[in-house]
Amino acid sequence: MAFKKKEKRGMPEMNTSSLPDLIFTILFFFMMVTTMREVTLKVKFTVPQGTELEKLMKKSVVSFIYVGPPTDNLRAQMGNSTRIQLNDRYAEAREVMDFIAAERQGMMNQAEQIISIKADQQTQMGYITDIKEVLRKSWALRINYSASRRN
């Protein structure tokens, strides 16, 4: 019996049949954990500073109301007066009730809705009071005021 001389074997090719599954799994993961900014800010604001702050854990139930002067590029059209922004449009305080009702329609548990007011620190309290009165009438009683941590 003669022994055959073994041929040099090359490196086997890598099996790439599961690669598309891996790529789609990673893509799906990033789609689930990434949040996209939904609102184009039309008001500019510097939030007040505070010391006793709590971070919101469940952000899917938060609806934002922005209050402040128009951004620099919209100031020529809109003037310098304080504006209220709901989603991507300017609004009056009386329109907040319709905004709250529309936001509730898209929520699973409507009782958990939180309204977060992001107001410029120079905003007069009258604007905030008007918004709060409308929120009271629409039974949106969980209100959050956005602030940054004081150094």
Question: What's the domain count of the chain?
Answer: 1
Check which CATH number belongs to the domain holding 132 and give it.
3.30.420.270
| pLDDT tens sequence across 81-136 | 999 999 889 999 999 999 999 989 888 888 888 999 999 999 999 999 999 999 99
What's the pLDDT at 27? 92
76 pLDDT band, cuts 50/70/90, is: confident
Lowest-confidence pick of 11-15, 25-29, 61-65, 78-82: 11-15
- Domain of residue 63 covers 49-149
Does a structural domain hold residue 44? no
Once rounded to an integer, what is the mean pLDDT over residues 43-57?
A: 86
CA distance 92 to 95: 5
pLDDT above 80 for 9 = no
